[in-house]
Amino acid sequence: MSARFNAPKRVVRILTASLPRDTKRALLRAERGTDRDIAVPLGVRVAWIDRSSREIDYFTLYGAIIDRHFPCDVADAAVLDVGAHKGYFAIRSLADGARRVDSYEPASQNLTSLRRSAEGHDRWRVFPHAVGAEAGTVSLHLAAGSWGHSVHTPVGGESVGTEIVEMVSLSDALAAISEAGDPVVAKINVEGAAGSMILGTAPGDWYAVRLLWADVEVNDPVGLPEIVEHLAGCGLRHERTDGQRNLFVRP
C-alpha cells in the first residue's frame, strides 16, 4: 500500500535524478507496469527487471540507483557482492568506477538475469554459490519474492521451495577478491545468514577490506553486537546503522 501511495514521489525522483534519459525512460516503464522484461541501461551494462518478479525487482533497482542503498565510494576498488540478487549493486559499482566485481548469488531465479547482465564483461565475475562460514552443500529456502531467498526460513513466511546449492566460505571469497592487491569494498546481503559467515572469518581474511556493508536481518541467529565485536577484532569499526544495513570501516 505504501509503495503505491508514494508512486508520484518516485516518479518525481526519477525525473529529477542525475541519470541518462534512456535509464529514466526504462524506470518509468517499470513504474507504470508491463508484461515484458525491462532492460534498464546503467553505464556500459544493462540491469534486467523480470516480468515474473517486476515489482520486487523494480523496488530493489530503485533502491540501488535512486535511494543509493549501501552508499560507498568504490572508485578504483574491487567489490565483493555477496547476495548479488540480479546484479544491481554490481552494475552501479562498475558505473561508479569499480575496478572489478565478484558477485555471489545461488538462486537460479536470479542467476539468469545476473549472468545476462554480466555476460562478456571481463571485470565482472559471477559465482553461482551461497557464501557461509564453511564450504559445502546447503539447502536454499526460496521465498515468494526474488530478494528473500535464504539458507534460513525466509522472513515473513514459509519458503515456497528449496534448491540444493554449493556454498563457499567467506574467507575464500575474500581471498579471491583480494588476490590482485586492490582495496576491497564488500557488501553482504544474505537474508539472515550474515552473522555466521562473518564469525567464521579470521582477522587476516579482511586485510584488504576498507569498507563493509552488512545487512543483519531479524532472522539472523547471530546478533549485531557479536558481529560488531568480531569485526572490531578484524580492524573494522562499526560506523553506523541504516535500517538493517550496517556500515563498517577501517580507520
pTM for this predicted structure: 0.93
Cell output for 185: 569494498
Residue-level pLDDT at 178: 98
Confidence of residue 67 (pLDDT cuts 50, 70, 90): very high
Which residues are CB-contacts of 4 (< 8 A; sequence separation ≥ 6)?
A: none
Cell of 162: 528449496
- Comparing 44-53, 93-102, 119-128, 229-238, the range with the smallest average pLDDT is 44-53
Q: How many CA atoms lie within 13 A of 63 on its CB side?
A: 14
Q: How far apart are CA 251 and CA 243, in angstroms?
A: 23
- How does residue 84 score in pLDDT terms, banded at 50, 70 and 90? very high
The pLDDT, as a whole number, for residue 5 is 52
- Spell out the alpha helix ranges (H) of 80-223: 88-95, 108-118, 170-178, 194-199
Is the pLDDT reported for residue 143 higher than 90?
Answer: no
Is 60 exceeded by the pLDDT of residue 2? no
User: CA 216 to CA 243: how far, in whole Å?
Assistant: 9
Provide the grid cell at 15: 525525473
Which of 53, 46, 19, 14 is closest to 31 using CA atoms? 14
pLDDT per position as a tens digit, 17-31: 999 999 999 999 999
Percentage of the chain lying above the pLDDT 70 cut: 95
Among 228, 198, 240, CA closest to 72: 240
pLDDT for the residue 6: 64
Q: Say what the pLDDT of residue 1 is.
A: 39
Task: Give mean pLDDT, residues 216-232.
Answer: 94
Question: Model confidence over 155-170: pLDDT tens digits?
Answer: 666 677 889 999 999 9
Structural domains of the chain ordered from first start: 1-68 (no CATH), 70-249 (3.40.50.150)
* Cα dihedral 114, 115, 116, 121 sign: positive
- Work out the burial of residue 135: count CB atoms within 10 Å of its CB; fewer than 13 is exposed, 13-18 middle, 19 or more buried: middle
Strand pairing partners for 80?
Answer: 102, 186
How does pLDDT run across 170-209, given as a tens digit for each residue?
999 999 999 999 999 999 999 889 999 999 999 999 999 9
